[in-house]
Structure 1
Amino acid sequence: MNKDELHNIISNSQSNICQIVVYKDSEKVYSDEWNDYKVDDCTHVMSATKSVVSLLIGIALDQGLIKSLDDKVLDYFPDYTVKRGERTIYDITIKHLLTMRAPYKCKGDPWSKVCSSDDWTKTSLDLLGGRKGITNDFNYQTVCLHILTGILHKVSNMTTVDYANKYLFEPIGVKKHTNYYAETAGDHKHFTMCKDPKENVWFCDPTQIGTPGYGLCLSATDMAKIGLLCLNKGKYKDKQIVSSNWIDEMTQPVLVESDKFRNMMYGYLWWIIDKEKKIYAAIGNSGNVIYVDSTNNIVVAIASYFKPTVFDRVDFIETVIKPFILEKL
């Protein structure tokens, strides 16, 4: 199979893919675009945003801004008033948030409640805890994860996007990002579902704190740089951006007690595909993926526009893209 044949296969069978970039042994070996997207255009990478936030938390830990992942969440919000009768929240740690083991007083994601509030961090804290206590059950959340970027703001006194620009994006050659705030629910929905190319933006709440569970817009080129950073143990062009210890810890697999997530394991906001081969991925709805294969020194980045029936493209990467790259080389 040559590049043109692969292009046509993707056009016919993976219709919402906009860009793919692949690195092998730190060299770019493949790049292509579909759906009239240009190489620098961005898509909303959905929940792959979570994995980028994990890197930011690691950087803050390296800088000493966060002392320990075992710190209690409320240590960072001393002015927060705990709701009457609530006890569980006092014992919830940053690690609980990173591993999706934090309990909440809600079923599913409370989008309307959080996103209609003036302070998404505070509203998310209001939902943290509950009568069942800390069960350590896997509880995948998106909107209430806002507590993590709230913590990052508290310790850095910077907006999420400014912190990311200074300590992650610009050092690895990702274009500077700006905040995007949706004034209305309709604008919010349009941001999520629109198929047109996006600018270099990060969705934020009314206080300018970026959404950690979704909302980041990147090109596949930028996604691949993030994957390459992880593959190279936190180093980019001989500069250590985040510690190698963080990359190792971030990708330690923990069993997910649910077949809802295709029996994958979870690290710190990264999905673990194969613990033996050290393959892991940032996965966002609609098939946005940063796939890191440490054994074969491969990074695959796929950027896609919104298509709700597509959860991930791990199987497609492993059965089509990776064999094509390995055969080509």
Structure 2
Amino acid sequence: MNESKIKEFENIIEKDYTNTCGIVVMKDNKLIYENYYNKCDKENKIHIYSITKSIISILIGIAIDKGYIKNIDENILNFFPDYKVQDNEKTIQNIKLKDIMSMIVPYKFKEEPYVEYFTSDNHLKFCLDLLGGDENIGQFRYAPVIGPDILSGVISNSTNQSVLDFARENLFKPLGINIDGNIIFNSAEEQFAFNQSVDINGWVCDKSELNTAGWGLTLSPTDMAKIGQLYLNGGVFNCKKIVSTDWIKKSTSVHSKFNDLSYGYLWWILDKDSFAALGDGGNTLYVNKAKNIVISITSLFVPNAKDRIDLIKRYIEPSF
């Protein structure tokens, strides 16, 4: 470790990344650095926003490994046999599981109807009703909130478990991650408070107890680092196989592109050696296979948060 460089990035964080809550660095399978801000410590869990999507990706992979899901090419409507599709709805009938996971499906809105979504009692039906439309499958369209919950429905319907129960049994418990339970909001004020909380432990769900897929999970930086280490170790944690190496390779390979950005199955692909899970506010899980390093950062929400990947690549990673 380079102490002078470490002090340099710590000063930069205190000056320019003031919403940071915690940073953990693991290298060569060892925890080598951790630091906390905003009165947080290793026990504080933060809303990680879209990093939730990458957790959902792992759960889809585990469900495929265990035979609950046949493969990534399954038609999405196969998971929802009771859902009624209108006769003129052609696009939705051709959408596959992999299309939603690589963000190349169209939706029937120009701007996401957030208020209607957040006040809906059934997020799954709300998202299915908006899936499809006149555009073609294949063009990258990132869906931050409305759409990913369809993947929660896929997990729940194929495993006959809630997303949280399936995650606890097959991912969180083996990694030593504790998630207290479901979080249901009864008002907009409760949701706003959640976004600034450092001591709520759980996973948001709707009134039907379907856990969110695009946002809503709380984790500590240590929790996230364990997940990154799991991927770095080819799906093995503490000598136990959690998810297949094949799925890790598939989920962190390029399946779609938007300008200079590359996307896998709910993971951002940075270059041939590194990939990341990214969430609002600067929440970041960064993995570099060549350097055998995992860096996780939790942050409270602020609009237009500064890019943590630049911080990691320019300052944090070179310090170790």
Scaled by the length of structure 2, the TM-score of the pair is 0.95
Alignment of structure 1 residues 95-244 onto 2, 5 Å: 95-134=98-137, 136-141=138-143, 142-192=145-195, 194=196, 196-244=197-245
- Calculate the aligned-residue CA RMSD, in Å: 1.4
Structure 2 residue 316 is the aligned partner of structure 1 residue 321: yes
- Work out whether residues 283 and 312 of structure 1, in 8 Å CA contact, stay in contact via their aligned partners in 2: no
Matching residue within 10, 16, 25 for 2:28? 25
Deviations 1:232-291 (A, max 9, x none): 111101111000000000011135233xxxx2210000000112xx20000001110010
- Work out whether residues 161 and 177 of structure 1, in 8 Å CA contact, stay in contact via their aligned partners in 2: no
**1:4 Cα shift?**
4.9
Secondary structure in 2 matching 1:68:
coil
- Work out whether residues 105 and 136 of structure 2, in 8 Å CA contact, stay in contact via their aligned partners in 1: no
Structure 2 residue 270 is the aligned partner of structure 1 residue 273: yes
Secondary structure in 2 matching 1:144:
coil
- Work out whether residues 102 and 256 of structure 2, in 8 Å CA contact, stay in contact via their aligned partners in 1: no
- Work out whether residues 53 and 215 of structure 2, in 8 Å CA contact, stay in contact via their aligned partners in 1: yes
- Work out whether residues 285 and 311 of structure 1, in 8 Å CA contact, stay in contact via their aligned partners in 2: no
Match of 1:310 in 2: 305
Q: Which amino acid aligns with 1:202?
A: W
Scaled by the length of structure 1, the TM-score of the pair is 0.92
Structure 2 residue 278 is the aligned partner of structure 1 residue 252: no
Q: For 1:83 and 1:312, locate their aligned partners in 2 and report how far apart those are by CA, in whole Å.
A: 42
**1:31 Cα shift?**
0.5
**1:188 Cα shift?**
2.2
Match of 1:58 in 2: 61
Matching residue within 90, 97, 103 for 1:87? 90
- Work out whether residues 76 and 151 of structure 1, in 8 Å CA contact, stay in contact via their aligned partners in 2: yes
Q: For 1:254 and 1:120, locate their aligned partners in 2 and report how far apart those are by CA, in whole Å.
A: 26
Assess, with a 3 A threshold, how the Cα gap between structure 1 residues 313 and 228 changes in structure 2: closer, same or farther. Answer: same
Q: Which runs of 4+ in 1 moved over 6 A?
A: none
Secondary structure in 1 matching 2:281:
coil
Assess, with a 3 A threshold, how the Cα gap between structure 1 residues 104 and 91 changes in structure 2: closer, same or farther. Answer: same
Q: Which amino acid aligns with 2:240?
A: K
- Work out whether residues 59 and 242 of structure 1, in 8 Å CA contact, stay in contact via their aligned partners in 2: yes
Give structure 2 stretches of 5+ with no counterpart: none
Match of 1:290 in 2: 285
Q: For 1:161 and 1:279, locate their aligned partners in 2 and report how far apart those are by CA, in whole Å.
A: 28
Q: For 2:258 and 2:313, locate their aligned partners in 1 and report how far apart those are by CA, in whole Å.
A: 24
- Work out whether residues 170 and 176 of structure 1, in 8 Å CA contact, stay in contact via their aligned partners in 2: no
Q: For 1:46 and 1:264, locate their aligned partners in 2 and report how far apart those are by CA, in whole Å.
A: 19
Alignment of structure 1 residues 9-24 onto 2, 5 Å: 9-24=12-27
